[in-house]
Structure 1
Amino acid sequence: MAATLPKRITKEIERLVKDPVPGIVAQPHEDNLRHFNVQMAGPTQSPFEGGEFRLELFLPEGYPMEPPMVRFLTRIYHPNIDKLGRICLDILKDKWSPALQIRTVLLSIQALLSAPNPDDPLDNGVAQHWKDNEKDAIATATAWTKQYAQPAPQ
């Protein structure tokens, strides 16, 4: 499998292993190096702090000309992430550039957790809650983090 992998992807995987992104672990599947299991720590001073979120990332055949496909597997209360875990983030859609890398995408998702944008929602109900009563929406996000995103016991 590795022989058919483009050099760019191989280099990105090597860099992720050698120089991991703080708070993020991205491991390619052994049987498909285009498919990654991702663990992302909730950013400090956010409603997601203390949570450990599971995501999946897939590099399509057209990568790096096409963006990776990423979604949350852990439930999360966020205006830019829907119930299926899909993420509303411009660099995963129309603002994608081949200059971006897997680590850039993961850092951008982590930044989105720190700064939800209810004006560009994927989940309209959560966005409206965020706009109408931000304090209560943050409390709900914190409760969901405690309920769904607890790290596995060591």
Structure 2
Amino acid sequence: MATAGANKRIAKELNEITREPPSGMKVRLVDESNVHKWEIIMDGPASSPYEGGHFKLLLTLPIEYPFKPPILSFQTKIYHPNVSNDDKGSMCLGMLRSDEWKPPNKILAVLNMARNLLVEPNAEDAIETSIAEQYRGDRKAFEKTAKEWTKKYANAK
């Protein structure tokens, strides 16, 4: 069962983020009665192949939060070396690994890191190796496919 302390911290972080959301993001609870599931709408950053897209992400906080890391997944398909290309949309983000996560880390930092990965993918820590190889070896082709997917799946014009 979630501790009162964990829920209090989550509520505090949610309050901070909804009061001053990170640039290009909207954050809300999936269900008002559950502070452990957040929906994030992230705008594709300017001058990235994701520009103009609106990506829906799901942030799930374990009951052991902040001692265990949150899980961040893309609900919108995205062509990216650090996001799994399956229906899970799992995100490979160093700080979200249980061996790298530290209780003082905040959800805001997680969201900002996720957005930064859209600007600059980390091909060295890829979950999709073929996309990472393309990103490293043929940036033009990578950007073309990423833009096509953004138009197709993320409501970009």
* Residue 103 of structure 1 pairs with residue 108 of structure 2: yes
Q: What do the CA deviations read for 1:114-151 (whole angstroms, capped 9, x no partner)?
A: 00122221001111221221111111101111111016
Q: Distance in 2 between matches of 1:126 and 1:5?
A: 37
Q: Which moved more, 1:142-151 or 1:69-78?
A: 142-151
List runs of 5+ in structure 1 lacking aligned partners. none
- Number of the residue aligned with 1:130: 135
Q: Which moved more, 1:14-23 or 1:51-60?
A: 14-23
* Residue 41 of structure 1 pairs with residue 46 of structure 2: no
SS for the counterpart of 2:34 is coil
2:55 to 53, 61, 67: 53
After TM superposition, the score normalised by the length of structure 2 is: 0.89
Moved over 2 A (4+): 3-6
- Number of the residue aligned with 2:8: 7
Aligned length: 150
Q: In the TM superposition, what is the alpha-carbon distance from 1:31 to its structure 2 partner?
A: 2.8
Structure 1 letter corresponding to 2:14 = I
Q: In the TM superposition, what is the alpha-carbon distance from 1:14 to its structure 2 partner?
A: 1.1
Within-5 A mapping of 1:12-31: 12-28=13-29, 29-31=31-33
Give identity over the alignment, percent: 39
SS for the counterpart of 1:15 is helix
Query: Quick one: structure 1 residues 132 and 43, their matched pair in 2 at CA, closer, same or farther if it must change by over 3 Å?
Result: same
Alpha-carbon RMSD = 1.7
Q: Is the 8 A contact 2:6 2:64 kept in 1?
A: no
Q: What do the CA deviations read for 1:85-133 (whole angstroms, capped 9, x no partner)?
A: 1111101103211111111110110001100122221001111221221
* Residue 92 of structure 1 pairs with residue 96 of structure 2: yes
List runs of 5+ in structure 2 lacking aligned partners. none
- Number of the residue aligned with 2:83: 81
Q: Distance in 1 between matches of 2:45 and 2:111?
A: 12
SS for the counterpart of 2:124 is coil
After TM superposition, the score normalised by the length of structure 1 is: 0.91
